A and B are shown apart, each in its own frame.
Chain A
Amino acid sequence: MAAAGALAFAASAATAADLTITSWGGAYTASQQKAYGEPWEKKTGKKIHWENYNGGLGEVRTQVTSGNVTWDIVDVLPHEGRVGCDEGLFEKIPSDKLAPAPDGTSFDDDMQVPRPNDCVAPQIWWSYVPFYDEGRAKANWGDARPKTIADFFDLKKFPGKRGIHTWPNALIEMALVADGVAIKDVYKVMDTDEGIDRAFKKLDEIKDDVVFWSSGAKPLELVKSGEVAYSLAYNGRVGAAILSEGEKFVPVWHGQVLEEEWIVILKGTKNLKTAMDFVKFASAPEQQAGQARFINYGPMRKSAFKIMKDGEPWFHNGKTISEHMPNRPELLDISIVASPEWWADNGDEIKERFEAWKAK
């Protein structure tokens, strides 16, 4: 209740910038600022105001329905990119307003996956991936090391606490693959009630040894401190710790769940033209590749991936980045590509069931 009042205040405190972009903060926002925020500011002479949020469309819906839009551009999860478009919270971004590939390939053909609707512009691929600390692995597991997602659910072979997030996305998929479902059949199995039962039964196997996290930095802390032996995390966080801080973390890519990330323009923004110009700039191949200099989230455009690969060592501190990209071609066969459509349809129900499971 107080949130509504607080929002009214936040709204009135908007700054005098030409464009307000809301994203997730931390190293991720920093990569956006360096890769295309600052270059765009230099190019146009306009000023960007960056805000952070924790996801969810609650604030977006409040702004759009109240007609008081202070965020122009928001960085959204795949599910929200769809729901928000269905609900009319975003402006349309026609394909011909987006930049083609350098070799002239049209924007639509340059995408690794087609856009789900014409509200979203490409940002990056990211993933939920399990990882452990090599520095502690010997003490925990001797010479054995996990290789597949089944090992994440195998407390006998790999004892120690497991870190998982507090919502069911990706966990259901991983549990099923760990239980022997072929990666390509995951969503077919999830469409049946037995499939969901099966996933929860698999989750039961680790339940007593689970530590939950909800913010992206937490799993790194948990693994680093030894609080948990093996945790799921956002691949970008793990990569950043390895690439920039020299941590000895090891991601186990088999069974990772790949998710899209999009940018959208809020319906009713007063800066529509500026926002459109920015989105075009930010989603162009050069800028997409440029972002990979600062964070190991994978570009969604084929041409951007190529620019990055040809430019190796591409990371800003002189390290190679390709092997940290969640969507590199050799991983695609062992990765689950999340289905936001399935989650839009079933997410509410599964979330409730997951809560009931947690509390039991």
Chain B
Amino acid sequence: MAVTTMEDPASAPGEILTADGRPLKASLQRSLRQSKLRAAGLVAIPFLFLLFTFILPVLDLMKWSVDDSQVNEVYPRTFAIYEQWDGKDLPGEEHFKAMYQDIANATGLEIGQTSTRMNYEKSRWKSLLKVSKRKIDKYAKANPDFAGPYKDYMVSDVHKRWGQPEFWQSLGAMKDPVTAGYYLNAMDMKFDFEKNVVAQPEDRRIYKMLWWRTLEISLIVTIACLILGYPVAHLLATLPLRYSNLLMICVLMPFWTSLLVRIVAWMIMLQQQGVVNDSLVGLGVLSDENRLPMMYNYTGTVIVMTQVLLPFMILPIYSVMKGISPVYMRAAQNLGATPAWAFIKVYMPQTLPGVGAGVILVFIVAIGYFITPELVGGKDGQMIGNYIAYHLKSSLNWGLAAAMGAILLTAILVLYWVYDKIVGVDNMRMG
């Protein structure tokens, strides 16, 4: 504010004073400041709410996607000398000594937690560490003066897997406390023991395919919603009030109906012994053996998601159409355009802000969709959201879940940015 750079305003000659003798300028500024403060106070409540229920939890989860510190803390000796090993044959005596001491010093809880992490890199770390911890604890108690040879003891007495270089090699991917490994996993890649990026073995590659499928389904659903929703919105905006109200109810009723109810209704309609197939067979269009598979697969996911998301397309387009004056169309036709031409050249461009809002709304909701694919997706209609949920809930691989979430979030932000560049977010109108 410029006030501080000015001379004391009260002493300036010809200053206008308010009734209480204060300079008008200062008094104005004061009341302005107060109203700003009040506005900030009002914004603070939703902002704090967002901060604690959304931003902080998201950041916290993001932390999981790069954090590999625990493994490094629990096995400090092992990782300190890890790089001295050439990674080919079994590591030498000092590596086994380090591992022995790390296991002996860790608590059972730490072994349990880190073994879950290590099992992501290589199956069977879990039981290897559990058994080793039990045996080494017992042995260390009975032989407090034990000083080697550690390699011999670990391989022949503790567990034969200590004699397999693959387990030692898998440690390489975890040797830094901050890792990009989860992001690689989310893209069907991983670190080898020297931290080179390599592809996952072929029969474990699923995520790339899932990302593409998620993108594809979201696009198909968005386009389908646009094609179906645009005419409906137009009807809604142009019909006489008593018909359009009825139509509006038809749009809103499913919108207000429980998602689960709608999904189950679709199941009844579309499954192979369902209403649609039964009717088609009854009419003789299909033979009984050739019933159409429309449920518990890709098709089912697309159909149900389109229906569920349709209102998100119709409503913003409708609200924009409602505001378009019919005068322009009449003018265009007066000037010689055919109705179709006028519609395309004059009416449609004016609806773009609504279309933009609808498209982006539907697409963003669709890309993170989870419950519909879960219920009707079957074997090839699952989306990335289902796998994020799986890793959060069941496999407890929160690092991978967080990485996938972060990628999804970034993808949405990038698409939003692209949209802004092409169409302009300022042009978007939600209503």
> Which A residues fall within an 8 A CB radius of B?
1-5, 8-9, 54-59, 61, 83, 85-88, 161, 166, 210-212, 214, 225-227, 341, 344-349, 351-353, 355-359
Contacts and interface: CB of A to CB of B under 8 A. Distances in A.
Interface stretch (B12-20, B53-61, B325-333): B53-61
12 contacts: A1-B57, A5-B54, A55-B393, A87-B396, A88-B112, A212-B379, A225-B271, A344-B119, A346-B123, A353-B204, A358-B379, A359-B206
Interface in B91-143: 108-109, 111-113, 115-116, 119-120, 123-127, 130
Contacts of A358: 379-380
Nearest to B110: A88
Which DSSP category, helix, strand, loop or mixed, fits chain A's interface? helix
Given A341-B127, A359-B380, A352 B113 contact: no
B8 interface: no
B378 A352 contact: no
B219 to A, nearest CB: 19
B409 interface: yes
A358 B297 CA distance: 11
A161 B273 CA distance: 12
A210 B379 CA distance: 9
A40 to B, nearest CB: 29
B112 A56 contact: no
Contacts of A59: 393
Interface string B248-288: 00000000000000000000000111000000000000000
B72 interface: no
A341 B381 CA distance: 31
B168 interface: no
B296 interface: yes
A355 B112 CA distance: 26
B127 A1 contact: no
Contacts of B197: none
A58 B388 CA distance: 12
Nearest to B185: A352
A27 to B, nearest CB: 19
Given A9-B53, A212-B378, A355-B387, 4 more contacts: A4-B58, A86-B111, A347-B395, A348-B119
A4 B206 contact: no
A211 B296 contact: yes
Contacts of A57: 393-394, 396
A1 B407 CA distance: 12
Contacts of B375: 214
B181 to A, nearest CB: 14
A341 B126 CA distance: 9
Contacts of B124: 345-346
Contact of A359 (B58, B115, B209): B209
B316 interface: no
A348 B123 contact: yes
B126 A56 contact: no
Contacts of A211: 296, 378
B234 interface: no
Given A345-B127, A348-B119, A348-B120, A359 B379 contact: yes
B112 A87 contact: yes
B393 A56 contact: yes
A359 B380 CA distance: 6
B322 interface: no
Closest 5 CB pairs of A and B: A86-B112, A56-B393, A4-B57, A58-B393, A56-B394
Nearest to B119: A348
B162 to A, nearest CB: 15
B273 A1 contact: no
A146 to B, nearest CB: 21
B145 interface: no
A5 B53 contact: yes
